[in-house]
């Protein structure tokens, strides 16, 4: 009778230890989601643990059967007893191996899908740079401006429109400044704004670690572009874009002295300038 209570007690202790320290969960995660992307070590220790359990069960079975049978122990009865004990254990381990295989396959498919999304992101990033590089500004009797140099000119145009505005409020003067630019360059700018918005939307809808990709994008946006994006975000056309700018701190790299008036910073939520 004491053997039964000892066995039950051992099982209860093992369950409590596992509940407290999550040993099985950690071991399972180390196989399915290894930190170094290599499950070899975890599988090796799983094999060792299984071998130890198997030897322990065989030893316990031998002891119990010898104790129960006394001097009448035979190989036939011992083999039947061991088979009845070990076969369920081996069946359980086989079933667990099948589940782990399925989970690893699912993880492999998920990783492949994430890899495809990341490749799409970098392709979109290259296309965004191509859109910027394809821009040009033709000025009378002056050299043609290309690529990101255009945004230096765009920022100056917004400033001129702002300075020439007769509206009394700073917000309306800022809107007048961008409208002065929009009137002459809406063709190029609309394409630029739409594509950048959809690039950020793609990041938002396809990645869990969104800020990692937003930081890559932010690193490619010049200060002159940030000035233009800032004043475009004040327009009714850019309501959704402005929400993304505030959510992902798209203006994090914008120097405050590039704004036309210190109060303009209040036109955006603080999250637009500082990453949370």
Instruction: For residue 42, give its domain range.
Output: 2-115
C-alpha dihedral sign at 113, 119, 125, 131: negative
Element (H, E) at 187: helix 170-206
Calculate ∠ Cα 108-109-115, nearest 5°. 90
Query: Is there a single domain that holds both residue 88 and residue 160?
Result: no
Look at residue 188 in the predicted model and tell me its pLDDT: 87
- Domain termination residue (choose one: 115, 150, 167): 115
Other C-beta atoms closer than 10 Å to the C-beta of 133 total 12
Per-residue pLDDT of the chain (276 residues; tens, 9 = 90+): 555 555 556 656 656 655 555 655 666 566 556 665 555 666 666 666 766 766 776 666 666 655 555 555 555 655 666 666 667 667 766 776 776 676 667 666 766 777 888 999 999 999 999 999 999 888 777 788 898 999 999 999 999 999 999 999 999 999 999 999 999 899 889 999 999 999 999 999 999 899 999 999 999 999 999 999 999 999 999 999 999 999 999 999 999 999 999 999 999 999 999 987
User: pTM of the prediction?
Assistant: 0.66
Query: Is there a single domain that holds both residue 73 and residue 167?
Result: no
CA distance 111 to 47: 26
**Cα distances (Å, whole numbers) of residue 200 to 118, 197, 210, 251:** 13, 5, 9, 13
| Inside any domain, residue 157 | yes
Query: Is there a single domain that holds both residue 108 and residue 211?
Result: no
Query: Is there a single domain that holds both residue 266 and residue 139?
Result: yes
| Inside any domain, residue 127 | no
| Inside any domain, residue 125 | no
For residue 156, the number of C-alpha atoms closer than 13 Å in the C-beta half-sphere is 6
List the one residue out of 204, 175, 140, 180 whose CA is nearest residue 267: 175
| Inside any domain, residue 128 | no
Query: Is there a single domain that holds both residue 139 and residue 259?
Result: yes
**Cα distances (Å, whole numbers) of residue 7 to 52, 70, 79, 100, 218:** 17, 21, 21, 29, 62
Look at residue 137 in the predicted model and tell me its pLDDT: 87
With contact defined as beta carbons under 8 Å apart, do 190 and 178 qualify? no
């Amino acid at each position: 009778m004491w053997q039964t209570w000892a066995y039950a007690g051992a099982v209860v202790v093992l369950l409590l230890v596992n509940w407290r320290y999550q040993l099985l969960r950690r071991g399972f995660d180390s196989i399915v989601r290894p930190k170094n992307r290599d499950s070899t070590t975890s599988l090796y220790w799983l094999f060792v643990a299984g071998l130890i359990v198997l030897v322990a069960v065989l030893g316990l079975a031998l002891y119990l059967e010898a104790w129960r049978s006394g001097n009448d122990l035979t190989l036939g009865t011992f083999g039947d007893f061991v088979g009845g004990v070990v076969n369920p254990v081996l069946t359980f381990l086989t079933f667990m191996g099948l589940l782990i295989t399925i989970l690893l396959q699912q993880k492999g498919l998920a990783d492949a899908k994430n890899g495809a999304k990341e490749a799409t992101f970098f392709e979109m990033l290259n296309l965004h740079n191509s859109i910027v590089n394809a821009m040009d500004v033709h000025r009378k009797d002056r050299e043609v401006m290309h690529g990101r140099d255009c945004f230096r000119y765009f920022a100056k145009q917004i400033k001129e429109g702002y300075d020439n505005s007769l509206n009394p409020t700073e917000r309306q003067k800022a809107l007048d400044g961008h409208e002065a630019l929009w009137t002459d360059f809406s063709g190029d700018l609309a394409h630029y704004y739409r594509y950048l918005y959809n690039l950020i939307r793609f990041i938002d809808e396809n990645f869990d670690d969104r800020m990692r990709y937003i930081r890559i994008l932010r690193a490619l946006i010049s200060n002159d572009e940030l000035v233009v994006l800032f004043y475009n975000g004040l327009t009714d056309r850019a309501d959704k874009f402005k929400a993304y700018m505030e959510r992902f701190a798209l203006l994090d790299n914008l120097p405050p002295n590039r704004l036309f008036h210190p109060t303009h910073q209040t036109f955006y939520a603080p999250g637009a300038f500082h990453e949370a």
